[in-house]
Structure 1
Amino acid sequence: MQAPPAAQTGITEIVWHDRRYRARAVAGGAAFEIYSDTSEPGFQPSGSTFHRFVHASEATSSGGEMLLAGVAPLAIPVMPGINASTVHQYSQNPRIGPAERALVSATRATAFITPGTRMVKPLSRHQVSRQLTAAPLVSGLCFRESDVAHLRFPSDRVVLSGDPDDVRDLAFALRWRAIGPDDYTSTELVHFPGLVGIPGRERRGSMVLGTGFLPSGTHLIAEFATAGLADLPLTARAEILAYTPDGAEIALFQYQPQTNVWTRVAGARHRDLVNRIPGLETGRTLFRVDPSVHAGLTGEHEGERVPITADPGHGFHAYERGAATRNPIVGPRRFHTRARWRDTEVIALGRNEDWVRLRLSQPDIEAIMAADATCVERGVYECWAPLAELVNPRTVNLDYPVPPPPPIP
């Protein structure tokens, strides 16, 4: 028997597994923190009560929190004998047949990304340190925040890890907003056929199943890759987050593109979390990034093509220190460089005199061996090569639609 609803701000009632619980919506309504007066499986102590987190799609609530979250959950096709458990079973098997794969793909196709969708990528402590001091970019495998909002305990977030860490009582993540859906692709076999067959000795983190879903014994979580595994520009007010053993989500740093800095936003009481990140100076609050690197994000401004920044929901802005310009940006575009090296399709990431850092855009075991590439994180393989050996280097452009102006009141 659960305790009656408390007279507390934000507390509501939901039904989960046919039982009624006090609950608090988190992540904009994508998940619930539920409370029990007695210890139950999966619940952890929280003061005088016990709590856990569940996805909003698993609970029944009269508040419509899932709709308020603004992101539609996965939808299972209506077919006799088919339910979420069936789809989950198929999603964890890379060797399913055509009929089962079609069912999984139909479910996976309901995981939409739109401009402004909040995305997250798990980070190790060392990745956090590099993120604060390297170019403001993101690449590799990631997730919609709404799909993983219920994974709040560090022990639960281990399943997402793309760069396994030896720390189990603290988890980190990068959160940003998508500029557009074409920046992301599913990790299904059709998009990355070589990732499925990569042996464990050449991987970091869990294998990529080729079904478009994360390997997990309990969760059905759609996973994405940045398109072609290319770098994407971080959007304004991207955040580096920490998740603590009590399930709290703490914003540690926020990215401010107009001033080229990551700003520490966590207060003094969270100093111990920042101190867990290796290589950071004690007490440092600002981390400058290279203003010349924007993952090729440019636009037309006053008749010239210039570097720009993206702020989904508020448009694009010319890259200038201080306040955003009043003049509109037209023709926003992201570009990157592709080439071939040793008969392998690669993305050119940066130069060091006569050498260039390359990333495999279609990793498979043959390409990894030919390029002598190293797995730097789950699904991402990089190497260095002489610039003169690149074949057919070319610029690839992706145009973004310009958002309509806000309505005049």
Structure 2
Amino acid sequence: MTVTGAEAAIDSDPLEPPLLAPLRRDLSWAQVQAMTQSVGHQHDPLLQRIRATAAVQRGTRMVKVLSAAQLAGHLAGWLPYGFCYRACDIAHLRSPAELALLRTDGSGAEPVAYALRWRATDRSDFEIPMGATQAGLPALPAHSRLGAMVLGTGFTPSTDDLIPEFVTAGFADLPMPANAQLLAYPGTGDEVVLYTYQPEQHGWLRLAGPRWRHLLEGVPGVSPDREYLPCTDAGAARLIGRINDQEYPAVADPPEEFRVRALTRAARYTVDSLSRRTEHAHWRAVPAWVLQRDDSWSRLRLTHPDADAVAAVGARCYERGVYEVWAPTRELVDHHIAELPYQL
């Protein structure tokens, strides 16, 4: 949804600044929309200025549209990763049919749409897939991708809307912040909060009452009657906080609270510094995150997939823009723990 003047932004949420386009007599909304759908406008300075107005701030609500299988994965411990959107940019999309284009796994039509919504811990966790950033995505051939084509303009393919898209930086896993939500859209215009994330307990608390219990019936491996679903350690990233040079597992509750992860409230001290910790390596000269590993094999996710990198390692597309491969652990080069600090 496009806002066409600064006066429309006066009462907007500062954490979610509106997308602004300088419409005038010789630049209509239809022309801007057409520019966002044309690969030839990837490097257009005007389009880049428009796209830059859709900024992510600390605390901005981000959304990833899910299939039923992906919802089950997040209930089991998956972390936010891959293509996502600001909640304010897709708030007008409420039906499964409207949200289907934003799905990333290429699965067929489903009667219920699902989504993960969380608040951004930091703007550095997100990239815009346009220009030099993730430049190889638009050139990937159709037979090696899932979901909608990546245009490289920073906008998702659409005949009607202007929807700015983001990817997690390098397609990395992001630690799940407190109070993240799993949502359902049954096609009635309702937005149903199914679960909310409890970081100290490392699990999902069900919020949907009996009226909405049927929305979980098609989710594989999930019982609609369970009140609480503890997570496994399926993610590859974690938050680390420091107090007086001592290191602690940390929790982010953006935009303002960053604390030690502890079961008792008295021990949830505010941390002095915060960083995201994960593993990184190269295999066959291709950079990748290390998602899982043992002494023999490692599961890798390419940080900047393009046709050459995908071919070099034989990576498979699991979601839109997400390419993973299993590699012999002994062949990894520059395998190290990556520490990505945040500015608090």
TM range (shorter): over 0.9
Q: Which residue of 1 aligns with 2:49?
A: 106
1:139-197 CA distances to partner (integer Å, 9 max, x unpaired)?
10100000000001111111211113323421000000001111101010310111011
Between the aligned partners of 1:319 and 1:57, the Cα distance in structure 2 is 40
Q: How many residues align?
A: 343
Instruction: Name segments (4+ residues, structure 1) moved above 6 Å.
Output: none
Q: Tell me how far apart the structure 2 counterparts of residues 82 and 122 of structure 1 sit (CA, whole Å).
A: 32
The match for 1:296 is 238
Preserved contact between residue 302 and residue 327 of structure 1 (Cα < 8 Å):
no
Larger radius of gyration: 1
Using CA pairs under 8 Å that are at least 6 residues apart, name the structure with larger relative contact order, 1 or 2: 2
In the TM superposition, residue 280 of structure 1 has moved relative to its aligned partner by 1.3
Counterpart of 1:319 in structure 2 is 261
Alpha-carbon separation, structure 1, partners of 2:234 and 2:51: 37
Instruction: Answer whether contact 2:283 2:331 (CA < 8 A) is retained.
Output: yes
Q: How far apart are the structure 2 equivalents of 1:332 and 1:168?
A: 39
Q: Select 1:243's aligned residue among 160, 182, 185.
A: 185
Name the CA shift for 1:366/1:167 in 2 (closer, same or farther; >3 Å).
same
Deviation at 1:96, TM superposition (A): 3.1
**Conservation of the 8 A alpha-carbon contact between 1:56 and 1:66:** no
Q: What does residue 75 of structure 1 align with?
A: 20
Q: Find the aligned partners of 2:264 and 2:206 in 1 and give their Cα distance.
A: 19
Structure 1 residue 83, shift from structure 2 partner: 3.0
Aligned counterpart, 1:381:
323
1:195–1:379: 8 Å Cα contact kept in structure 2?
yes
* 1:162-181 paired onto structure 2 within 5 Å: 162-181=104-123
Distance in 1 (CA, whole Å) between partners of 2:113 and 2:309 is 32
Give the one of 267, 274, 279 matched to 2:221: 279
Aligned residue runs from structure 1 range 53-202, under 5 A: 55=1, 57=3, 67=12, 71-77=16-22, 81-96=26-41, 98=43, 101-135=44-78, 137-202=79-144
2:333 to 374, 391, 396: 391
- What amino acid is the match of 2:98? D
**Whole-Å separation in 2 of the counterparts to 1:223 and 1:181:** 14
| 1:172 and 1:242 in contact (8 A); partners too | yes
Asked whether the 8 Å contact 2:236–2:291 carries over to 1, the reply is no
Amino acid at match of 1:102: P
Amino acid at match of 2:292: G
Please report the TM-score for the alignment, with normalisation by the length of structure 1.
Answer: 0.79
| Structure 2 unmatched runs, 5+ | none
TM-score, normalized by length of structure 2? 0.93
Alpha carbons of structure 1 residues 326 and 279: separation in structure 2 relative to 1, 3 Å: closer
What is the DSSP-based 3-state SS (H/G/I as helix, E as strand, rest coil) of the residue aligned with 1:88?
helix
- Matched residues in 2 for 1:121 and 1:155: separation? 16
Asked if 1:211 corresponds to 2:162, the answer is: no
What letter matches 1:92 in structure 2? Q
Q: Deviations over 1:75-98 (max 9, x none)?
A: 113666123322211111112375
Deviation, structure 1 residue 302: 5.3
Q: For 1:8-27, list aligned pairs within 5 A.
A: none
CA contact (8 A) 2:156 2:163 kept: yes
SS at match of 1:129: helix
Q: Please point out which of 283, 301, 304 is paired with 1:341.
A: 283
How far apart, in 1, do the equivalents of 2:267 and 2:255 lie?
Answer: 16
Q: Is the 8 A contact 2:15 2:57 kept in 1?
A: no
Superposed displacement of residue 331, structure 1 = 1.3
Letter of the structure 2 residue corresponding to residue 215 of structure 1: P
Q: Which ranges of structure 1 fall in alignment gaps of 5 or more residues?
A: 1-54, 403-409
Cα distance change on mapping 1:118 and 1:311 into 2, 3 Å: same
SS of equivalent to 1:398:
strand
Kept in 2: contact 1:335–1:396 (CA 8 A):
yes
Give 1:398's aligned amino acid.
Answer: L
Deviations 1:96-141 (A, max 9, x none): 375xx21111111111111110000011110111111124x11101
* Alignment counterpart, residue 176 of structure 2, candidates 224, 234, 243: 234
Alpha-carbon contact 2:236-2:278 (below 8 Å) kept: no
1:313-363 CA distances to partner (integer Å, 9 max, x unpaired)? 341111112326353301111122222111211111121342111001111
